[in-house]
Amino acid sequence: MSLSIRHLLGLEGVSADDISMILDTAVSFKEVLSRKIPKVPTLRGITIVNLFYEPSTRTRISFELAEKRLSADTVNFSASGSSVSKGESLKDTVWNIEAMKIDMIVIRHGASGAPHYLTTCCQSTVINAGDGAHEHPTQGLLDMYTIREKYGRLEGLKVVIVGDIKHSRVARSNIWGLLTMGAQVSVCGPPTLLPVEMEKFGVRVFDDLDEALAGADVVNILRVQKERQKAGLLPSMREYSRYYGITKNKLKLLNDNFTIMHPGPMNRGVEISSEVAEGPYSVILPQVTNGVAVRMAVLYLLSGGKGKVYEE
Ligand code: CP
């Protein structure tokens, strides 16, 4: 059992077979996580460095937990407090860390393409934990896992992604992954936050929220980044909330058995009301729970499938 990719840099171009293998393997790891002792020796002897050049709560803790549940040795690196503040380059930083004998690097970086760059100059397996506005593949995978867990499939489901599509790595990974798996994907946001020629991705594009939501199964709501307002891309957060905020009265436009998702962190009262975020149809916390199992699956499969999923 192995993937056809050596690194996980994004979901663009990743095959349906590889995505299915990751999601299926994550089902087994979710079972491991429900055990009294939620730990297996699968990655014993493997050393993983979590290299975070940007802030993170969910992704960082989720990767660290996934690594510990698999019995890997883990080291956490933050750019702040490291020699990056003395001007050390990404390449020199990674070469020095690799000199201490590591196997895998999980990297979050503000620059799109930083994980890909590492694959050209280092030996380790690289996993993208979010790079600039490019991709956040494990978020896309855990979102797909969560949808599939509820509906038993991805094919044919209508998924709407609402918010700042232009600057969202979560949107890109969801779009590539969901389209590969046969879902129908729409995006919706203010015209200033929609990339030009977005239709070429193979998605439907809306700037009217009601039209986008009509008949949808899943709504994935993105965080509105306040710096977009400073950059003149949004008139005000209040106006954004009025036209694109998901409140309870919008939910009647959706299909029966609809699902509300958000990758976090949320701006309650801006892109999503508290009532919606905490409603019975919300899977926002199950997304976080599933993230650990999905990341365990990614780490296990990219490690070359050493060890056994079920080993007790
Ligand atoms: N979803 C997500 O990437 O959250 P963090 O920025 O907290 O990791």
Predicted local distance difference test score (pLDDT) of residue 311: 53
Q: Do the beta carbons of residue 44 and residue 307 sit within 8 Å?
A: yes
Q: What is the pLDDT of residues 66-83, one digit of tens each?
A: 999 999 999 999 988 888
**Ligand 1 pocket member 138 (CB < 6 A):** no
Work out the average pLDDT over 203-232: 92
**Contact present, 105 and 94 (Cβ < 8 Å):** yes
Q: What atom of ligand 1 comes closest to residue 264's alpha carbon? A: 1
pLDDT of 312 > 60? The answer is no
The answer to whether 38 touches 64, Cβ cutoff 8 Å, is no
pLDDT over threshold 80, residue 183:
yes
Peptide bond between residue 265 and the one before it cis (omega within 30 degrees of 0): yes
What average pLDDT score do residues 141-158 get?
A: 98
Residue 59 CA, closest ligand 1 atom number: 8
**pLDDT average, residue stretch 28-36:** 97
**Domain range list for the chain:** 16-136+289-302, 137-284
Cα-to-centroid distance, 135 and ligand 1 (Å): 12
> Quick one: which atom of ligand 1 is closest to the CA of 55?
6
Cβ 263 under 6 angstroms from ligand 1: yes
Establish whether residue 56 lines the binding site of ligand 1, counting it when its CB lies within 6 angstroms of any ligand atom: yes
Question: Where residue 157 falls among pLDDT bands split at 50, 70, 90?
Answer: very high
Q: Is 48 within 8 Å of 299 (Cβ atoms)?
A: yes
Helices (H), 152-256: 169-180, 209-213, 227-230, 237-244
Classify 16-136+289-302 by CATH class. alpha beta
Predicted confidence at residue 229, as pLDDT, reads 74
Q: Report the alpha-carbon distance of residue 252 to residue 248 in Å, rounded.
A: 8
Q: What is the DSSP string of 36-91?
A: SS----TTTT-EEEEEESS--SHHHHHHHHHHHHTT-EEEEEESTTSGGGGT--HH
Question: pTM of the prediction?
Answer: 0.96
58 lines ligand 1 (CB under 6 A): yes
275 residue type, one letter: E
Q: Are 261 and 178 in contact (CB under 8 A)?
A: no
Q: Would you state the pLDDT for residue 306?
A: 55
For β-strands 73-78 and 47-52, DSSP reports them as parallel
Return the CATH superfamily for domain 137-284: Aspartate/ornithine carbamoyltransferase (3.40.50.1370)
User: How many angstroms separate the CA atoms of 130 and 153, rounded?
Assistant: 26
Is residue 200 pLDDT above 70, yes or no?
yes
User: 173 CB under 6 A from ligand 1?
Assistant: no
Type of residue at 298 = V
Name the one residue in this structure whose structure tokens are 């969560």: 146
Ligand 1 center to 75 CA (angstroms):
19
pLDDT of 176: 98
- pLDDT at residue 299 is higher than 60: yes
Return the sign of the alpha-carbon dihedral for residues 102, 108, 111, 116.
positive
Residue 146, pLDDT > 80, answer: yes
Cβ–Cβ < 8 Å for 177, 19 = yes
Task: Please give the distance, rounded to the nearest whole angstrom, from the Cα atom of residue 57 to the centre of ligand 1.
Answer: 6
80 CB-near residues (< 8 Å, 6+ apart): none
Residue nearest (by alpha carbon) to ligand 1 atom 3: 59
Q: What is the mean pLDDT of the chain?
A: 95
What integer pLDDT is reported at residue 33 of this predicted model? Answer: 97
- Name residue 49's amino acid: V
Locate the ligand 1 atom nearest the alpha carbon of residue 130 and give its number. 3
User: Cα dihedral sign for 81, 84, 88, 92?
Assistant: positive
**Ligand 1 within 6 A of 140 CB?**
no
Ligand 1 in reach of 59 Cβ (< 6 A): yes
**137-284 and 16-136+289-302 share a CATH fold:** yes
Residue 184 pLDDT = 98
Kindly provide the b/e burial profile for residues 118-133, where b requires at least 16 CB atoms within 10 angstroms of the residue's own CB. Answer: beeebebbbbbbbbeb
Instruction: Give dist(CA 74, CA 77) in Å, integer.
Output: 10
